Amino acid sequence: MMKEHLMVQEQVKTVWQHMVGVMCLNLTYRKQVKEVLPKLFKRYPNPKAFLRGRTKTQENMLKPLGMWNVRTKRIRKMSEQFLTWDYKEASDLHGIGKYGSDSYKIFYKNEIPDDVQDKELKKYIQRL
């Protein structure tokens, strides 16, 4: 597996964790995310656990990524929606943009979107 291209995919076990991972990658470095995700998922392995968690604790865990208050709010909102989501379009979830939608299609629906823009996803697709 291409570790440099699949960093988030190597650290997640569920679709919800994938969504949290791609949200954490927004406007930050992969190295920081790689350090934060295992701790976050150990404490909050699923959306219900995250929603039961204390916001302040979550903000502290996400602090190394920057914008911790915004990230926490977005992940909480996405987690609420995730509980009733139909698994069709990832972009229907709060805070999930083009990268999150494309990566969900690639890794969970086995689809290759026509207009992938992310350079790491493009590299991954080319190696398939």
Please give the positions annotated as active site.
Answer: 118
End-to-end CA distance of the chain: 11
Amino acid at 87: Y
Say how far apart CA 80 and CA 90 lie, in whole Å.
Answer: 14
With CA atoms as reference, report the closest residue to 34 among 58, 15, 10, 17. Answer: 10
With CA atoms as reference, report the closest residue to 24 among 35, 15, 13. Answer: 35
